[in-house]
Amino acid sequence: MRLRFLLGDVWVGLRRNLSMAISVVLVTMISLFLLGLGLLAQRQADVMKGYWYDRVQVSIFLCTATSRTPCTGPVTEDQKQNVRSQLEQLRPLVKEVFFESEQEAFDRFREQFKDSPILGNIKVGEIPSSYRVQLSDPSKYEVVASTFENAPGVSSVQDQKQVLERLFTILNKFTRYAVALAVLMVLCAVLLMATTIRQAAFSRRREIGIMRLVGASNMAIRLPFIAETLIAALVGAGLALGLLFAAMRALVGDNSRNVVLRQVAIGTTDIWHIAPILGGMAFALAIITSTITLWRYLRV
């Protein structure tokens, strides 16, 4: 079959069955968009893990005058020294230790909440001083926690990783929902493609009859249908990518020039990374669905 003849045939077929072709495009678009969202959420989680796991700290908050139990009063200099030396003993698990004084903590707090009315009620000494400990292996947080929880002068031990974990859980859930929805929509897309092909085959039964009669090969008879489905699916994949770009712009904005944001959040370049997956998915869906449908309904 000559390419020009094939393309002409495909063009006529798509035009004749325009509403069905459009529905295939749209359903493919939505299913791949959802799949894309799932993949992007996963990438976001990976990016965050990569960035934050190196930086997460365990904070050992020391008692202030207003701290509740187990504190019995503001931390003493001895207690501070004690904590400090115990931390030194935990090397090499403890990679680095910073001490944040009450003044520094207050300054940081003031900086963070400078536009908030909450600031007026806070005085120096109410924000606890703390040891910020960076671990060589963030997963061994428990070692630090068990050593310092209930130690004299320590009000609490907090792991930033736990805060992050909660975020990851949300992202993972989002991924799961998106992918589950995507699977449903892919099923819709497959069924719709199959129906479309059957209808197209029916509306072209005369041509098919003649083709069979004059001895056109199976491939020659089936190729226009496969090509039509493929084109519709790939257009759907293209639109899905467009939607993902639009969604990314709306949610994250253009972060390609923002050095910090680029390290913690996915950006438009990540869409390019998942584009081959979505394209491949559309390709495989179209080829497999049309081949099976034609095999069932177009015996030669």
Partner 1 sequence: MIRFENVTKAYPRSARPALDDISLEIVRGQFVFVVGPSGSGKSTMLRLVIREEPTSSGSVLVAGNDLGLLPPRKVPRLRRQIGTVFQDFRLLPNKNVTQNVAFALQVLGRPNRVIKTLVPETLELVGLQGKGRRMPHELSGGEQQRVAIARAVVNKPAILLADEPTGNLDPATSLDIVRLLASINKQYGTTVVMATHDNVIVDELQRRVIELENGVVVRDEEQGTYVPRAESPVAHPAPGHEHPADLWTNPDADWAEEHVRGED
Regarding 221 and contact with partner 1 (CB under 8 A), the answer is: yes
Question: Of 198 and 212, which has the nearer Cβ to partner 1?
Answer: 212
Regarding 212 and contact with partner 1 (CB under 8 A), the answer is: yes
How far apart CA 172 and CA 56 sit, in angstroms, is: 20
Shortest spacing between CB 217 and partner 1, in angstroms: 5
Question: Of 2 and 257, which has the nearer Cβ to partner 1?
Answer: 2
Question: Of 73 and 209, which has the nearer Cβ to partner 1?
Answer: 209
Regarding 2 and contact with partner 1 (CB under 8 A), the answer is: yes
Regarding 215 and contact with partner 1 (CB under 8 A), the answer is: yes
Question: Of 63 and 223, which has the nearer Cβ to partner 1?
Answer: 223
Residue type (1 letter), 277: I
Residue type (1 letter), 213: L
Bridge partner residues of 296 (DSSP): none
How far apart CA 94 and CA 97 sit, in angstroms, is: 7
Regarding 211 and contact with partner 1 (CB under 8 A), the answer is: yes
Question: Of 161 and 204, which has the nearer Cβ to partner 1?
Answer: 204
- The radius of gyration computed from the CA coordinates of the chain, to the nearest angstrom, equals 31
Regarding 258 and contact with partner 1 (CB under 8 A), the answer is: no
Interface positions with partner 1 (CB under 8 A): 1-2, 5, 206-207, 209-218, 220-221, 300
